[in-house]
Amino acid sequence: MKYFKSILLVSLFAVLSIGVAAQDMLVDKVVVSRHMERVDSVAPHNMLLNESYVIPSMDMYPKWENTGVHFTATLPDSFKIDLTGFVMPTTSRKITDIFGYRPRRRRVHNGLDIKVERGDTIYAAFDGKVRITAYQRRGYGHYVVIRHNNGIETLYAHLSKKLVIENQNVKAGQPIGLGGNTGRSTGSHLHFETILLGKCIDPAKLFDFKNQTVTGESYVYRRPGSRYIENGKVKVAGPEPKFHKVKSGDTIAKIAKKHGVSQRSIFKLNGLTANSIIRPGQRLRVQ
């Protein structure tokens, strides 16, 4: 019995000393990580985001509402969107209009247009929960918004019919509507948006309709102007597009000077040539 007691004591001592040693190591680690934080304040932030992206939609959105497609929220410096488990919203490969500013119509296009026929099945892109089903006569027509477990929301517009109801859980690939031409639309097509915390991001950065796949296992959204580390170098995420409303008397040279950009880049961004005429009220992309 005495023998056992001494073994117990010895092991207790061993546990205690390991405990002390581990604590020492822990202190060392804290010092190291504090030091790293100062040198590279971006990395710990990114790590936190990556850790929490398992079911980010649970805590990243402040509330659940059945209204308001786009809203203003504070976007993180970076956010990793998990694209695994996707299903293409349509089997169509034909893009009829891209995301971004359309000089021809002088407005920003918040999504991607894909050619579909009336009655074609439209599928949920990821698992999620239907947040909005509504009808907008002068806009989206019949449309559906789904909040996904990977943190983004997707919108499907100009549908001829909706096949889901609000607050319904859906699986990736579940039919959610039929293609159509409702709302402000000329010719049947699917208007598809990908939205992160109320802000539209280019669906082509996530989905490759031509090849019926996603662009990778994940896509990292970076807030314009935010700093990040790539291959050991600090980089700054690109700026958001900037626009200029043409006033009478404006010339490309004047506009370029005002915004500190080259005339050539304005020509390029807006598909203009030296012979193009700009008119007052027209919106030009300058960045």
- Least Å distance between CB 107 and Zn ion? 11
In angstroms, rounded to a whole number, what is the distance separating the alpha carbons of residues 65 and 122?
Answer: 23
To Zn ion, the closest distance from the beta carbon of 210 in angstroms equals 17
Instruction: Tell me how far, at minimum, the Cβ of 239 lies from Zn ion, in Å.
Output: 24
Report, in Å, the least distance between residue 41 CB and Zn ion. Answer: 39
Of 90, 89, 75, 85, residue with least CA distance to 55 = 85
Q: Burial level of 158, CB count in 10 A (0-12/13-18/19+)?
A: buried
Size of the site for Zn ion (CB under 5 A): 3
**Residue of 93, 102, 156, 165 whose CA lies nearest to 129:** 165
Q: Which is nearer to Zn ion, 53 or 123 (CB)?
A: 123
Which range, of 28-36, 144-152, 184-192, 278-286, touches Zn ion by CB under 5 A?
184-192
- For residues 151 and 210, the answer to whether their CB atoms sit within 8 Å is no
- CB atoms closer than 10 angstroms to residue 137: 9
DSSP reduced 3-state for 265? helix
Q: Which is nearer to Zn ion, 82 or 113 (CB)?
A: 113
Name beta bridge partners: 178: 121, 161
Helix (H, G, I), strand (E, B) or coil at 143: strand
User: Which residue's CB is nearer to Zn ion, number 56 or number 177?
Assistant: 177
State the nearest-atom distance from the C-beta of 81 to Zn ion, in Å: 21
Site for Zn ion in 190-209 (CB under 5 A): 191
Strand-pairing partners, residue 130, are 146
Q: Measured from the CB atom, is 113 or 127 closer to Zn ion?
A: 113
> In whole angstroms, what separates CA 246 from the centre of its chain?
30
| Distance from C-alpha of 251 to C-alpha of 262, rounded to nearest angstrom | 13
Q: Does 82 bind Zn ion (CB under 5 A)?
A: no
Using the minimum distance from each CB to Zn ion, give the nearer residue, 191 or 222: 191
105-124: contacts with Zn ion (CB under 5 A): 111, 113
CB of 111 to Zn ion, least distance (A): 5
Smallest gap from residue 97 Cβ to Zn ion (A): 6
Smallest gap from residue 283 Cβ to Zn ion (A): 18
Q: Which is nearer to Zn ion, 78 or 90 (CB)?
A: 90
List the one residue out of 107, 287, 73 whose CA is nearest residue 198.
73
> Is 159 or 255 the residue whose CB approaches Zn ion more closely?
159
Cα torsion 164, 127, 53, 221 to 10°: value is -70
Beta bridge partners of 115: 189
Q: Which among 26-34, 186-194, 236-244, 277-285 is the span making contact with Zn ion, rule CB under 5 A? A: 186-194
Residue nearest to Zn ion (CB): 191
What distance in Å separates the CA atoms of residue 284 and residue 102, rounded to the nearest whole number? 9
Q: Segment near Zn ion (CB under 5 A), from 43-51, 88-96, 188-196, 254-262?
A: 188-196
The residue (of 13 and 135) whose beta carbon lies closer to Zn ion is 135
- List residues near Zn ion by CB under 5 A: 111, 113, 191
